[in-house]
Amino acid sequence: MVLKSTSASDNSVYQVSGTNFSRSLPDWIAKKRKRSLKNDLEFQNRVELIQDFEFSEASNKIKCTPDGQFAMATGTYKPQIHLYDFANLSLKFERHTDAENVDFLILSDDWTKSVHLQNDRSIQFQNKGGIHYTTRIPKFGRSLAYNKVNCDLYIGASGDELYRLNLEQGRFLNPFKLDSEGVNHVSVNDTNGLVAVGTEENTVEFWDSRARSRAAKLSLENSFDNSPFQVTATSFRKDGLNFACGTSTGYSYLYDLRTSQPVIVKDQGYGFEIKKLVWLDNTGAEGNNNNILTCDKRIAKIWDRNSGKAFASMEPNVDINDIEHIPGTGMFFTANEGIPMHTYYIPNLGPAPQWCSFLDSITEELEEKPSDSVYSNYRFITREDVKKLGLAHLVGSKVLRSYMHGFFINNELYDKVSLIANPNSYRDEREREIRRRIEKERESRIRTSGAVTKPKVKINKELVDRLSQKRGGKMADDVVVDERFKEMFEDEDFQVDEHDYDYKQLNPVKSAKETEEGAAKRIRALTAAEESDEERIALKEGRGKYSDSEADDSEDEDEDSESESQASAREMTEKEKKMLAKKIATAQNRKQERERATKFMNQMSVGTDDKYEEDTRDGAFDTKVAALREEEQHRAANTAVVRRNHQGEAEFSYVPSKRPSKSHKKPVTAHDDDEEDGSEGTAKKDTGRSRARIHGRRAGKNAFRGM
């Protein structure tokens, strides 16, 4: 079993009992599970400071008896009162009431006499046997206070009166008539009998119990914001001169009764109303008598009343309803919106109570340290570290425990092995640390504007020029100087080739010429079989890869590009020759791609007919010439126009023309007569075909082959 602990300002706060979360399971399920936990070793070894230190639903108030031997708490549901005996560390008894408890006081040194203010406007007096007497007040009560000198019980209610019930006479006395409406809290100074009344109108009224008149009226000013607030908590210090009050906005004011200005104002931080103020004068430790505790529903803070410096804090995950300090110790009880009540122990504030002195010896042993882990004595190393340290032969043994992408190794063994692998590691680390400190000092020096030189731009100058046109050149300076992009203008591996195909895909097209080139490049390349077929057909047709007009155009373009490149080469310097050679190679590749695209588009626009292919494969020379002339006439008559966009799509527009009839017979030549006598000539029919349709074809030849 471990104790949950938090540390603030080097002061550990141990949570002895309670949980950090409210229980979501029904109570009957939890009780049923308790029976099955008798064999649970962890449950048997748990630390349970006080047995049954809880309520069925939530706890409202908790207080310790003046003799320090008992603790009384009230809660719900059903409304009940619990009394805990510290000598036996257990619940002494529980009592159920008709209404929920608002506030209560312990009138005797032990638990035998107590008074309880209920939410049905009733006041119950209880003794050993139970309810001793019950009375009622005109309005709903909010707070109780008792003056031991004159036996007056003060009841603060929702009206403008402070009710007084004298327990010696057994009757109500004339109430104190207040200037403000609504009493939130009442406290009594045990030294001089001064009564402080916190009201709803951000005022505190001080009444003299002996003269039964108002002694002073204190108006609190909110200098932080002008929002209205109320006084929700008041408290006197035992010296009789210091006074503290809390507001509904989460501020705590500390006063000296001899002045109307606050000594210090402390913000709780969450904006919730202050529920209780406790002066920690009697903690049992030297040097910690100047602290004060302020509590809202979220957190209880302990801080120095003179400087405001934080000492420690207690923050459960459930809302706090009340908090009680055990005098002379560093232990606190909290009543909260959860089934178990919480117990906190701060060793630096004071010792543990006598009835649980064993806490001093087990807190450090059972302390839960979030920073510790199961592998605190091991170090994680990767496979590369294993090779560097020369421990590859130990892989698979118990020395290196494999885990994910590396191994765990003992810290002592790692230190020895690393020292053997690198004897100068300490000296190297010392030199690196010295260098690191020197660089840090250099960065802190003041530099003049003239001392800062801009780095030289070796590559991507065009990119810098474009950036310099934005924001008046500031963008280019920022990018070049930035360490993240520094290598982009120095390392040649980051050279941006604007003529590259991938670059054009990621950037918008600049001109129609680049659009046409990009579209040609994006056309699917032919396979090896398709290229061989196309070259064979082109050779038999008696034409090269280009027509005359296209060849002339391409030669003109090549001459223009060569002349431009030569002129630019004469103007360029020696440093740019390397860049020029790279651009020329890129231009040649682009030229080859353009030739392939032009060849494919010509085949798309002209095409070849099956009959023409069959006749020209083995025909006579005059037949081939006639076929070529017919093809040229057909090409001249063809007015097809091809338009391409930047996405590689092609659009064809043409004027329809009547094609010659398929039944037209070609003139029979002597060569054809000879073929008719052969074995293949038997396939000739009246349709004018010279041979069978399947002659000279591949199996499954596609008419769209080569597209």
Residue 206 has what pLDDT?
Answer: 95
Bond before 426 cis per omega within 30 degrees? no
What is the pLDDT, as a whole number, of residue 35?
A: 66
First to last CA, the chain: 79
pLDDT at 163: 96
Q: Which residue has the higher pLDDT, 454 or 624?
A: 624
Q: Residue 593 CA to chain centroid, in angstroms?
A: 50
Which amino acid would we find at residue 569?
Answer: A
pLDDT at 90 > cutoff 80: yes
Helix (H) or strand (E) run with residue 389 in it: helix 383-389
Question: Given this model, what pLDDT does residue 523 score?
Answer: 46
**Cβ 219 vs Cβ 255: under 8 Å:** no
Cα distance between residue 291 and residue 283, in whole Å: 10
Please give the residue that has the higher pLDDT: either 184 or 509: 184
Phi-psi category of residue 9: left, alpha or beta, with phi > 0 → left and psi -120 to 50 → alpha: left
- pLDDT score, position 287: 65
Give the residue from 89, 68, 71, 90 showing the smallest Cα distance to 81: 71
- Can you give the residue ranges of every domain in the chain? 14-368, 378-424, 456-503
Asked if pLDDT for residue 42 goes beyond 60, the answer is no
Q: Cα(2)–Cα(20) distance, rounded to whole angstroms?
A: 14
Length of the chain: 707
Does the pLDDT value for residue 248 go beyond 70?
yes
Phi/psi zone of residue 545: left (φ > 0), alpha (ψ -120 to 50 degrees), beta?
alpha
- Banded model confidence at residue 99, pLDDT cuts 50, 70, 90: very high
Q: Is 523 helix (H, G, I), strand (E, B) or coil?
A: coil
* Residue 473: predicted pLDDT: 59
For residues 274 and 276, give the distance between their C-alpha atoms in angstroms, rounded to a whole number: 6
Q: Which amino acid is at 390?
A: G
448-475 exposure pattern, b = at least 16 Cβ within 10 A, e = fewer: eeeeeeeeeeebbeebbeebbeeeeeee
**What tokens does 416 get?**
């020895």
Going by pLDDT thresholds of 50, 70 and 90, the confidence category of residue 684 is very low
Cα dihedral: 557, 561, 564, 566 (round 10): -130
C-alpha triplet 496, 498, 500: angle, nearest 5°: 95
Coarse DSSP helix, strand, coil percentages of the chain, rounded to the nearest 5 percent:
30, 30, 40
Give dist(CA 665, CA 616) in Å, integer.
Answer: 15
- Per the omega criterion (within 30 degrees of 0), is the bond before 416 cis? no
pLDDT above 80: residue 327: yes
Confidence grade of residue 422 (pLDDT, cut at 50, 70, 90): confident
Does residue 74 contact residue 88 with C-beta atoms inside 8 Å? no
CA dihedral 565, 571, 573, 578 (to 10 degrees): 0
- Classify the phi-psi angles of 21: left when phi > 0, otherwise alpha if psi is within -120 to 50, otherwise beta: beta
Phi–psi pair at 103, nearest 5 degrees: -160, 155
- The candidate with the shortest Cα–Cα distance to 604, out of 649, 553, 647, 660, is 649
- Give the sheet arrangement for strand 122-126, strand by strand: 101-106, 114-118, 122-126, 131-136
Q: Which phi and psi (to 5°) does residue 129 adopt?
A: -80, -15
Query: How many Cβ atoms are within 10 Å of 324's Cβ, its own excluded?
Result: 19
Looking at residue 384, its pLDDT comes to 87
pLDDT at 27: 52
Yes or no: say if 641 and 652 are a contact pair by the CB < 8 Å rule.
yes
Q: Distance of alpha carbon 164 from its chain centroid, rounded?
A: 57
More confident of the two residues 650 and 206: 206
Q: In the prediction, which pLDDT does 501 show?
A: 78
417-421, 606-610, 632-636: least confident range: 606-610
Q: How confident is the model at residue 421 (pLDDT cuts 50, 70, 90)?
A: confident
Contacts of 672 (CB under 8 A, 6+ apart): 690
Look at residue 172 and give its three-state secondary structure: strand
| Per-residue pLDDT at 181 | 87
* CB of 363 closer than 8 Å to CB of 356: no
Mean pLDDT of all residues in 324-332: 92
> In whole numbers, what is the pLDDT of the chain averaged over residues?
77
User: Rounded to the nearest 10 degrees, how much is the dihedral formed by the CA atoms of 301, 303, 305, 309?
Assistant: -140
pLDDT tens-digit readout, 9-33: 678 888 888 765 444 445 555 566 6
Largest pairwise CA distance in the chain: 154
What gap in Å lies between CA 701 and CA 608, rounded to an integer? Answer: 13
Question: Bigger pLDDT: 449 or 218?
Answer: 218
Whether the per-residue pLDDT at 334 is higher than 60: the answer is: yes
Give the DSSP letter string of 125-139.
EE-SSSEEEEEE-SS
Q: Is 5 helix (H, G, I), strand (E, B) or coil?
A: strand
CB burial string 377-404: b at 16+ within 10 A, e below: ebbebeeebbeebebeebeeeeebeeee
> In the numeric block, which tokens belong to residue 395?
């892989």
| Contact present, 299 and 315 (Cβ < 8 Å) | yes
For residues 70 and 585, the model is more confident at 70
The token pair that represents 503 in the structure block: 């670059």
Contact 605, 635 (CB under 8 A): no
CB 292 within 8 A of CB 233: no
The neighbour count for residue 297, using CB atoms within 10 Å, is 16
**List of E strands, 178-275:** 183-188, 194-199, 203-208, 213-219, 231-236, 242-247, 251-256, 264-267
pLDDT class of 465 with cuts at 50, 70, 90 = confident
Tell me, what's the pLDDT at 196? 96
Instruction: Decide which of 686 and 124 is more confident.
Output: 124
Tokens for 205?
A: 């009224």
CATH number of the structural domain 14-368: 2.130.10.10
pLDDT tens digit sequence for 365-411? 665 554 444 456 778 888 888 888 888 888 878 788 787 788 888 88
Angle at 286 between CA 284 and CA 287, to 5 degrees: 125
pLDDT tens digit sequence for 636-646: 666 566 667 76
User: How big is the CA angle at 108 (ends 104 and 110), to the nearest 5 degrees?
Assistant: 95
Does this model's pTM top 0.75? My answer is: no
Report DSSP state, residue 450. Answer: T
Tens-digit pLDDT profile for residues 646-683: 666 777 666 666 665 555 444 544 444 444 444 444 44
Q: Which letter, b or e, does each residue of 496-530 get, where b requires 16 or more Cβ atoms within 10 Å of its Cβ?
A: eeeeeeeebeeeebeeeeebbbbbbbbbeebeeee
Binned at pLDDT 50, 70 and 90, residue 512 comes out as very low
Confidence bin at 506 (pLDDT 50/70/90): confident
The rounded distance, in Å, linking the Cα atoms of 383 and 387 is: 6
Report the pLDDT value the prediction gives residue 641, as an integer from 0 to 100: 64
Asked whether the predicted pLDDT for residue 300 surpasses 90, the reply is: yes
